[in-house]
Amino acid sequence: MSGTIIVTGGAGFIGANIVQELNARGADDVIVVDQLRNAEKWRNLVGLRFEDFIDKDDFRDAILTDDLPWHLDAVVHMGACSATTETDADYLADNNYRYTRDLCEWCLKYGVRFVYASSAATYGDGALGYLDDDAATPLLEPLNMYGFSKHMFDLWALRHGFMNQIVGLKYFNVYGPREDHKDDMRSVVHKAHGQIRETGKVGLFKSYRDDYPDGGQVRDFVYVKDAVDVTLHFLEHRDTGGLYNCGTGEARTWNDLANATFAAMGRDPNIDYIEMPDHLREKYQYHTQADQTKLRAAGYDKPFTSLEDGVADYVRTWLADRS
C-alpha cells in the first residue's frame, strides 16, 4: 500500500483497528475521518499514527465541492450509524446510504480504491440464506432500518454496475478491542465481561421459538482482527470487486459465547435467561452464518480465529486491563 489512505469512522470500533493494522504494516499516511463530539471514542486514537483528522461533515463537504487537500490512494469507509435500534429513518438514509453514495461516486470519478462496510443485517431473518452473490442480494428483506440503509447502497451499486470496481463487506457479529464507546451496541462479550466482574453471572435473552432453546440462538461471531485482515486484503487486491460476507462460516450459540467469556476470566458459568424487550422480538435474528464461498474464491485463504481463542485474547489483552 502506498499513498494517502482515508479511513472514515476511523475513531470507531472497526475503523480504529484498521488504522492500527495499517500502522503495523508501515502505513502512516492515514487521514482519520470521524465525529468525536462528547463521546469517549477519541481514546481509540491514542497511540495510533495518522497524518490528519477531519470531521465527517467537513469531509463530506470537501467531497461534494471537490476541495480535498490530499491526493488519495484509497478510502476505507467504515463510518456509519450502526445502532440497530435507531428509529430516525431519515437520518439513517442520509448518513448510511446517501453519504456512502456521495463518497463512492467521488472515488469512482478519480479512480480511488473504495472499500466500504455493508452489514449482515441486510439478510434479515435469514430465511433466504446468507449468499452474497449478485442474484440473491435484491431479494433480501432486512428487519430494521439500519439493515435497510445498508441494503439501499448495496442495491444502488449493483443496479449501476459499480460492484466490479468497489468492495462491500457484510460484517457479521464483530467483537474485540476498541468497542468500549458503543454503549448498547457493544458486543455481548464486552457486556458479559462487565456483568461477570460485577455480579458473577450473565444475562442472556430467552428464546421465543420452539426450535431454539434459551441461549441457543446462534450467530457468526467474528474477532475484529479477522475483520480487519479481510478488509485490508481487498485494499491490497485492487483487481477484485464485489460484495462479500465477512464471517467465520460457523454459527455458535450465545451460550457458547458466555461460556467462553467465563472460561477466559477463570470463572464457572452462571447464566440467567431474561425476557427480551417487546420492541426487539419481531426484529430479532435467531440465526446468522456467513457463506464463505465467494470470499474464498476471491483469494482470501486465511483461517478465522475460533470463538474461544478470540474471546480469550480479547478478555486477557484488553478487557482485563480496563477492569
Residues annotated catalytic, as ranges: 146, 182
Contact 311, 256 (CB under 8 A): no
Residue reference for cell 455480579: 199
Q: Which of 193, 180, 229 is nearest to 44 (CA)?
A: 180
Interatomic CA distance for residues 235 and 231, integer angstroms = 7
Exposed e or buried b per residue across 201-229, where buried means at least 16 C-beta atoms within 10 angstroms of its C-beta: ebbbbebeeeebebbebbbbbbbbbbbbb
Residue 131 C-alpha cell reads as: 449468499
